[in-house]
Amino acid sequence: MDHFPTNWGRPRNELHDQYNTYPIHQRPSQPKDVFGEGVQRTQQPIVTGTSVLAIKFKDGIMMAADNLASYGSLARFKDIQRLHPVGTSTIIGASGDMSDFQYLQHTLDELMVDEFTNGDGHELGPAEVHEYLSRVMYGRRSKLNPLWNSLLVGGLQDGKPFLAYVDLLGTTYSASSIATGYGSYIAIPILRAAVDNKENTLTEEDARKLLHECMRVLYYRDARSLDKYQIGIVTSAGVSVSDAIKLETNWDFAEGIRGYGAQTQ
């Protein structure tokens, strides 16, 4: 609808507006929506995080993500936290666009405050957080304005380990080991071999060692990864995100490879 009456057509004769009292607006330069250019929706990720890994174990779930936020191939921010505790029984881990993730962090924190102020004694668990996130993600993709992330949601739901995935398309699933990005190609085979059918016997120490090893493999092979990562754990003892852990690596093998290590001839 054009709301500028002068665009509707001038009155046919001066009878209707003898003294020219009818206001003549400045005609809009564009016949279309003037704000159209300002609305940007289709996007691409800018500052990105790489893989997130997560597994179920005997007492809960464990998640790992490195501390790098890349700007294309530039290792731009090397102290970014990509694991975020939500409430007292949930952790989310994000790969993809970090600004979209930080927006989600604020949204979730606000949601948790709103729920707390209800004062009904209820708190959102990982199943509810995952449902909420999947609705937000699917809603945004349906508006063709996605939040460019792959997210893992883990925690304890009614005392049982919960682990699920949601991405920018709203696709969801749950499994006992999940990884995003390159982790889904490189780490998943290692994680499935170690975790499947052992969810109820795998100890916290086993789980920690397993994720450590996978993060090392990823650091060797994923060019957008970092040798500094954090582990997030949810057990009946609560939620915790570790301090940064440094990966020890050995690049001696590269020595003899031309074009990889030092030039040999």
Partner 1 sequence: MPDTAHEQPQQRQFYPYTENGGTILAIAGADFTVIAGDTRQSEGYSIQTRYAPKVFRLTERAVLAVNGFAADGNMFVKKVKQRLEWYRHAHAKEMPLRAIARLIQTMLYAQRFFPYYVNNILGGIEEDGSGAVYSFDPVGSYEREACRAAGAASSLVQPFLDNQIYFKNQTPAPGTPHPTYLPLPDVLAIVIDSFTSATERHIEVGDGLEMYVVLAKGRSIEELADVAGVQELTTRADGDRMFVIQRELKKD
- Per CB under 8 A, does 99 bind partner 1? no
Residues 6+ apart with CB under 8 A from 230: 64, 65, 66, 67, 81, 82, 83, 241, 242, 243, 244, 245
Q: Which of 29, 30, 42, 197 binds partner 1 (CB under 8 A)?
A: 42
CB of 142 to partner 1, least distance (A): 7
Q: Is 240 in the site for partner 1 (CB under 8 A)?
A: no
Report how far residue 265's alpha carbon sits from residue 255's, in angstroms, rounded to the nearest whole number: 12
The rounded distance, in Å, linking the Cα atoms of 145 and 209 is: 39
The stretch among 19-27, 70-78, 142-150, 197-205 that binds partner 1 (CB under 8 A) is: 142-150
Instruction: Tell whether residue 229 is a contact of partner 1 (CB under 8 A).
Output: no
Residue 142 interacts with partner 1 (CB under 8 A)?
yes
d(CA 102, CA 149): 11
Active site residue 172: no
Q: Is 193 in the site for partner 1 (CB under 8 A)?
A: no
Residues 11-30 vs partner 1: string with x where CB under 8 A? --------------------
Contact 148, 168 (CB under 8 A): yes
| Phi, psi angles (nearest 5°) of residue 81 | -95, 125
46 binds partner 1, rule: CB under 8 A: no
Query: Closest approach of Cβ 20 to partner 1, in Å?
Result: 35
Q: What is the closest distance, in whole angstroms, from the C-beta atom of residue 194 to partner 1 in the complex?
A: 16
Which residue of the set 42, 117, 201, 264 is catalytic? 42
H or E element that contains 154:
strand 149-157
Question: Nearer to partner 1 by C-beta: 138 or 229?
Answer: 138
| Cα–Cα distance measured from residue 3 to residue 21, given in angstroms and rounded to the nearest whole number | 19
Residue 185 lies near partner 1 (rule: CB under 8 A)? yes
Residue 122 in tokens: 């209820």
Query: Could you give the 3-state DSSP secondary structure of residue 168?
Result: coil
Q: Are 152 and 141 in contact (CB under 8 A)?
A: no
Count CA atoms closer than 13 A to 169's CA, side-chain side. Answer: 3
Among 121, 144, 201, 259, binds partner 1 (CB under 8 A): 144
Beta pairing class for 74-77 and 69-71: antiparallel
Closest distance between partner 1 and the C-beta of residue 145, in Å? 8
Q: Which is nearer to partner 1, 140 or 235 (CB)?
A: 140
Minimum CB–partner distance for residue 169 and partner 1 (Å): 6
Pattern 145-184, binding to partner 1, x per CB under 8 A?
A: -x------------------x---xxxxxxx--------x
Closer to partner 1 by CB, 169 or 254: give it: 169
Tally helices (H) and strands (E) across the chain.
Answer: 5, 14
Q: Which residues bind partner 1 (CB under 8 A)?
A: 42-44, 134, 138, 141-142, 144, 146, 165, 169-175, 184-185, 188
List, by residue number, the catalytic residues.
Answer: 42
